[in-house]
Amino acid sequence: MHIRKNIAFIFQFTTIGLALAFVVIYLYPDLLGQQSQEIHLQQGDGEIQRHTPGEGVVSYAVAVKKAAPAIVNVYATKPVTEKRSPFFDDPLFRHFFGDGERSSRQRSEPSLGSGVILSAEGYILTNNHVIADASEIAVALNDGRTIPAKLFGADPESDLAVLKIDLKNLPVITLGRSDNLEVGDVVLAIGNPFGVGQTVTSGIVSGLGRNGLGINTFENFIQTDAAINPGNSGGALINANGELIGINTAIFSQSGGSHGIGFAIPVNLAKDVLTQLIEHGHVIRGWLGIKIQDITPKLAKAFELDSTDGVVISNIVVNGPADKAKLDRGDIITHVNGKKVRDFRETLDQISMHKPGEKIKLTVIRDGTKTEKIANVGERPGR
């Protein structure tokens, strides 16, 4: 009898405790640390209907009508410092005209870009370079509504940023997939080039996995010949179904206009960055605390290597993950977790994909001898 009463008491006590904990957390969510943000993304199946010659569509109007309402114009105001005229450094000039304005002046300069509404909660994805250092940001919707926007989070290393607006009845783009794209797939770029208004250009996927361009720290671009011009940055690259497959980011041009070589950040990468910025406030990437460089033919000869595959450690952070794993300058990394790496980009990507706290196996050549090192991955410091 006593045992049964004790069990009933424990059960009642636990139930009351859980109820109180629920009430406290509901009323004071900040006690758990950063308040969680709610986001609902509209995910499509990403399946593209590829036709044989003679069976192709004659219009992409349906795809454009599906995606265009969720593409916005982004207006950013950035402070610019104007240097004083060099004439003020001339003693003769100052003698006749006075010292004038000796210090630099601040003025505001408008910056134009595009963005994509990804959720009904008002989250907008754009390029970081569109809004970097902006003092004011405004967003103009395709339906004519204009509203100030707040910078929710940014990741300069992937050149992505998340804006937040407070409006109801927002059009939301459907997310496609970038991992099943093929060279030759039809794509459409939507944005606001040169501020002329929302514009759609068409082309195909010209290349995949483009990197080493020196645009971002982490690069895995979709290359397209759809015309992308200034003002398109942050806009949408969509497939023939009207689903988002990329964020238009950069062009290769010597004149400033489109030469048929544009680059977009794949939607799979963009979605991951968006989710992390909303959940954590920053993007979490793996880090070993090493500075690495590609192996040139000259270095390969000096290290008596058979090829230029891999990277050499040129510097190392004291007490960092690599230092604790007994790695050293001059070590040559050839494999990460058994996967061969060819250059700086591949090695950096492989390391960054690991979560802090995970163990990573590195195949290293030191003084001509191959060995393996196990390192505990740390978190990459923000820029």
26: enclosing H helix or E strand:
helix 2-27
Which residues are marked as active site?
A: 129, 159, 233
Quick check: 191 and 235 in contact, CB under 8 A? yes
Residue with tokens 């690495």: 292
**Other Cβ atoms closer than 10 A to 164:** 17
CA 30 – CA 32 distance, rounded (Å): 5
3-state secondary structure of 235: coil
3-state secondary structure of 300: helix
Phi-psi domain of 338 (left: phi exceeds 0; alpha: psi -120 through 50; beta: other): left
Quick check: 137 and 148 in contact, CB under 8 A? yes
Quick check: 166 and 145 in contact, CB under 8 A? no
